[in-house]
């Protein structure tokens, strides 16, 4: 075999330079062939395979656009204040404080400190998102698909998020319930959650980081997906430098609750010398 020796393995590895797979990061991100119109300097450009995951630490003000390329992606997202793992996405407060269970442009992703982690600035996926059900587990995937381990053909979202967390100094105990993009859930009058599915290929959502963040994403089927086969298609992730939301932005004053969350965030950052 060509790789049976160290020299052969090195030659084989070096021969892969410049080759690309359908799902992989582009490094440097500025080599991405079609950057978003009007975007600043690209800092993250990646296609995440179905059943895959990704992670990145991003600066305050970074805009992150997630795109469902083929109509069957489901981006399970977690956010942590970078360097402060105890401040993290709180889906209960995100829903409760804003008096709304449905994610779409204009909504905020909140921590349990009453501060904004990220804002949703654009949504072309018709609000087909979910802030209530979380992601799949190894047990649930084993029951449904026969396995939920990371290296199986049907990895569970929580198992992938554990890996992403570990690569950022986080532990399983640091993983709260996630939000999901591109597979919508509707709550019926009797309280039953019903999957409304995807808005179709090409839908996107753009998030703006309102603090320095650690971003964890698993691209796996929604736990309410009724299909017997594990169905998950590629997710595109693009991020670029921009500016955090400031007073005077319509998003800042869109609701009294949102304004208070932005004020809480601004006061906290000001005490750290961040304006």
C-alpha 215/C-alpha 218 separation (Å) is: 10
Residues 6+ apart with CB under 8 A from 168: 55, 57, 80, 214, 216
**For every one of its 275 residues, what pLDDT tens digit does the chain have, with 9 covering 90 and above?**
577 788 777 877 777 776 776 778 888 888 888 888 666 799 999 999 999 999 999 999 999 999 999 999 999 999 999 999 999 999 999 999 999 999 999 999 999 999 999 999 999 999 999 999 999 999 999 999 999 999 999 999 999 999 999 999 999 999 999 999 999 999 999 999 999 999 999 999 999 999 999 999 999 999 999 999 999 999 999 999 999 999 999 999 999 999 999 999 999 999 998 87
Query: Which residue's entry shows tokens 């690309």?
Result: 20
| CA torsion angle 130 134 140 145 (round to 10) | 40
C-alpha 113/C-alpha 268 separation (Å) is: 10
Query: Which residue's entry shows tokens 């949102």?
Result: 258
């Amino acid at each position: 075999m060509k790789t049976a020796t160290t020299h052969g393995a090195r030659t084989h590895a070096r021969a892969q330079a410049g080759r690309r797979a359908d799902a992989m990061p582009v490094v440097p991100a500025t080599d991405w062939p079609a950057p978003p119109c009007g975007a600043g300097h690209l800092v993250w450009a990646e296609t995440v395979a179905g059943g895959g995951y990704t992670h990145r630490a991003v600066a305050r003000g970074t805009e992150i656009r997630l795109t469902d390329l083929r109509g069957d992606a489901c981006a399970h997202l977690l956010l942590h204040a970078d360097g402060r793992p105890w401040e993290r996405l709180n889906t209960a407060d995100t829903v409760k404080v804003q008096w709304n269970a449905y994610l779409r442009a204009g909504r905020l992703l909140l921590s349990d400190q009453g501060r904004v982690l990220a804002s949703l600035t654009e949504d072309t996926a018709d609000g087909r998102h979910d802030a209530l059900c979380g992601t799949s587990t190894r047990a649930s995937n084993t029951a449904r698909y026969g396995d939920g381990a990371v290296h199986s053909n049907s990895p569970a979202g929580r198992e992938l998020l554990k890996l992403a967390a570990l690569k950022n100094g986080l532990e399983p105990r640091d993983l709260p319930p996630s939000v999901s993009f591109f597979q919508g859930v509707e709550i019926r009058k009797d309280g039953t959650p019903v999957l409304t599915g995807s808005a179709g290929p090409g839908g996107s959502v753009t998030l703006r980081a309102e603090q320095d963040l650690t971003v964890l994403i698993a691209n796996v089927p929604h736990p309410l997906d009724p299909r017997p086969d594990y169905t998950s298609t590629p997710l595109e992730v693009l991020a670029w430098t921009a500016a955090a939301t400031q007073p005077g932005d319509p998003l800042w004053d869109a609701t009294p609750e949102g304004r208070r969350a932005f004020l809480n965030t601004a006061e906290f950052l000001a005490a750290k010398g961040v304006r």
